[in-house]
Amino acid sequence: MTTTIHDTSISMHIEFDLNQNELEALLRHCQTYKPTSGDVREDRRVQDALEALEEALLSANASH
């Protein structure tokens, strides 16, 4: 699975070799993990990154 993540400041290409079970587990993690570092800005950055990863994984999976 190949996916590209676009952010307002960077664009990166990441390639994953995942089976369906691994993909589903990673998606569940993206959907359920709630950062609790105590730093609101850092937690928001982590949450934004997880949402971008989820979107890219879903998009890449839909194309297969």
Q: Where are the domains of the chain?
A: 2-62
pLDDT of residue 25: 97
- Tens digits of residue pLDDT in 4-45: 666 566 777 888 899 999 999 999 999 999 999 999 999 999
pLDDT of residue 7: 57
Q: Residue 25, CB half-sphere, CA atoms under 13 Å: how many? A: 5
Contacts of 17 (CB under 8 A, 6+ apart): 1
What pLDDT is recorded for position 38? 95
SS (H, E, C) the chain: CEEEEECCCCEEEEECCCCHHHHHHHHHHHHHCCCCCCCHHHHHHHHHHHHHHHHHHHHHHHCC
